[in-house]
A and B are shown apart, each in its own frame.
Chain A
Amino acid sequence: MPERCTYIARSTAIAARALAGEMMVMNSTDSTFFTLNEVATAIFQAADGRTPLRDIVRDRICEQFDVDIEQAQTDAEQFVAELSGHGILLVSSQPLSSDSTRETP
């Protein structure tokens, strides 16, 4: 049975900018403000709505940060759940295109 795919995209309501390696993220609908660490920033930047989360973890996280794939996948899912709860990331089992025109911050 094929593994279920998760696609993630950045919400259009957010503002984001990198400051010294960390991503500042603000959701304009409720003014919540976050800073993301390097790993979270890498996932956030790769959230183009087209690349499955497990590919992001495999290609961006494991390779760059030298972490175990299973641990990384668990952490990433937790992170994605948290950010989607705040309306920062959109999560879907289908590819998303909402963010395709936006630049990577």
Chain B
Amino acid sequence: MSLMSEVGQKAFDLGVPIAVHLDVTYRCNERCVHCYLDHDDHGEMTTSEIKGVLDQLAEAGVFFLTFSGGEVFLRRDFFELVEHARRLMFNVKIKTNAVMIHEAEARRLRELGIDTIQISVYSHRAEVHDAITKLPHSFERTINAIRFLREQGLRVTIANVLMTANSSDHAGVQKLAAELDVHYTLDPTITPMMDGDTSVLSLRIPGEELTEVFHNPALVGNQEEFCAPPKPPSEQDLEGYSCSAGHSFCYISPYGDVFPCVQFPLPTGNIRQQKFLDIWNHSPEMKEVRSIQAKDLTTCSSCSHVSSCTRCPGLAYMEGSMRGPSTADCEKSFYRTGVPTANMLQQGLSKPRSTSGNTVPLIQIRPLQIQPIEVQPVEIPA
């Protein structure tokens, strides 16, 4: 076990929120075809509110802080926020489309000691990338920005979200990443991530193509191990918890709403009304998420995949129950190993229902409390 995973486990066991994903805006300068986000400003936290949140997060023990959106650089106070975060000694990761990063911004990010900048690149072909983002020349601007960042010696990860329009481009993007000397990652819902950090996007490409992706060693590493049939679960597996959502990780929206994860739209409280630690420690919803063990799962506890499945409790929640199955993960487990899941068998399916290239809508976490304008009746003098 690496030191990093040991620390992660310790935080998990102690219930310390070691990693937080903070969206500072939902506004965006790209209009990606697969993105269902509403890009308006419904009353984002102000500069001083976000600084206050960062102070509270540092106090709560948060170490890994991801700034994301929307497009973070649309906030004109973004550098001020990052400076504040770095003064508080967070390990800062930024997710961006990078089109607003030029030489000066890259230099500032290096000075601020940013850990990683994760940038979405959809294709190695400009016309395919631009057709997805709907921003002319965005490919050129994004790639130029990556060069500026690399010139500063910053660590960059290209995140390649696959959908039907670009499903055959992953090899090209991988090659591009190698040329630019940056890391490459597939949509994290396909590549399991240690820290429970999940992308805002969840999408499906057709099952047959998913099989191809999962059996491509260039994408999944040791293919034989990755695609091995599931081992029967041990007692320890059944007493295990799923992911870090609500245990050592949570998500905060631009409006201050706190959720167990980016993909888990279960409201647990608002940081504008309560202290972060009060929500984290005492919210009944957080406690409920934290209490679920593998043996408590309605369908999955009897599934042969239970110990190896990437079952996302947030997606399950969106399907109806946080203790139920998440169909997208059932499909992944099936296409990875060829072994049907309990959820499929229960429905009498020997293979998943055809999902020819559909995209699952992006989760939209809207502000939970839009303050209505106080309207007081006016007395008209007679």
Binding site for B on A (CB under 8 A): 12-20, 24, 26, 28-29, 31, 33-35, 101-103, 105
Complex formed: what's the CA distance from A26 to B18 in Å? 13
Query: Residue on B with the closest CB to A104?
Result: B89
The distance from the CB of A22 to the nearest CB of chain B, in whole angstroms, is 9
Please tell me if B153 contacts chain A, counting CB pairs below 8 Å: yes
Please tell me if B52 contacts chain A, counting CB pairs below 8 Å: no
| Contact B10 A26, beta carbon cutoff 8 Å | no
From known contacts A17-B61, A19-B61, infer whether A28 and B3 are also in contact, taking CB-CB under 8 Å: no
Complex formed: what's the CA distance from A20 to B9 in Å? 12
| Contact B10 A19, beta carbon cutoff 8 Å | yes
| Contact A103 B89, beta carbon cutoff 8 Å | yes
How would residues 163 to 177 of chain B score, 1 for a CB under 8 Å from any chain A CB and 0 otherwise?
000000000000000
A–B pairs, 23, beta carbons within 8 Å:
A12-B86, A14-B89, A15-B89, A15-B90, A16-B89, A17-B61, A19-B11, A19-B14, A19-B16, A19-B63, A20-B14, A26-B63, A28-B91, A28-B113, A28-B114, A28-B115, A29-B153, A31-B155, A33-B7, A35-B7, A101-B87, A102-B89, A103-B58
Please tell me if B4 contacts chain A, counting CB pairs below 8 Å: yes
Complex formed: what's the CA distance from A105 to B4 in Å? 18
| Contact B3 A35, beta carbon cutoff 8 Å | yes
- Work out how many contacts link A and B, with CB atoms closer than 8 A: 62
Please tell me if B159 contacts chain A, counting CB pairs below 8 Å: no
Main secondary structure of the interface of B (DSSP, over half): loop
Complex formed: what's the CA distance from A29 to B18 in Å? 21
Complex formed: what's the CA distance from A24 to B86 in Å? 15
The distance from the CB of B17 to the nearest CB of chain A, in whole angstroms, is 11
Complex formed: what's the CA distance from A33 to B115 in Å? 12
Question: Beyond the given A33-B7, A102-B89, could you list 6 further A-B residue pairs with CB under 8 A, ordered by the A residue number?
Answer: A17-B63, A19-B14, A20-B10, A29-B113, A31-B155, A101-B87
| Contact B3 A33, beta carbon cutoff 8 Å | yes
How would residues 77 to 91 of chain B score, 1 for a CB under 8 Å from any chain A CB and 0 otherwise?
000000000111111
Q: Which residues of A contact B62 (CB under 8 A)?
A: 17
Q: Which residues of B contact A20 (CB under 8 A)?
A: 10, 14, 16
| Contact B115 A26, beta carbon cutoff 8 Å | yes
Complex formed: what's the CA distance from A14 to B92 in Å? 10
Query: Residue on A with the closest CB to B16?
Result: A19
The distance from the CB of A48 to the nearest CB of chain B, in whole angstroms, is 14
The distance from the CB of B287 to the nearest CB of chain A, in whole angstroms, is 21
| Contact A18 B61, beta carbon cutoff 8 Å | yes
From known contacts A24-B7, A33-B4, A35-B7, infer whether A12 and B63 are also in contact, taking CB-CB under 8 Å: no
Complex formed: what's the CA distance from A18 to B4 in Å? 14
Q: Which residues of A contact B14 (CB under 8 A)?
A: 19-20
Q: Which residues of A contact B58 (CB under 8 A)?
A: 17, 103, 105
Chain B, range 249-297, C-beta contacts under 8 Å to A: none
Complex formed: what's the CA distance from A15 to B65 in Å? 10
| Contact B87 A102, beta carbon cutoff 8 Å | yes
The distance from the CB of B131 to the nearest CB of chain A, in whole angstroms, is 35
The distance from the CB of B372 to the nearest CB of chain A, in whole angstroms, is 38
Q: Which residues of A contact B91 (CB under 8 A)?
A: 15, 26, 28
Q: Which residues of B contact A26 (CB under 8 A)?
A: 63, 91, 115
Complex formed: what's the CA distance from A18 to B91 in Å? 13
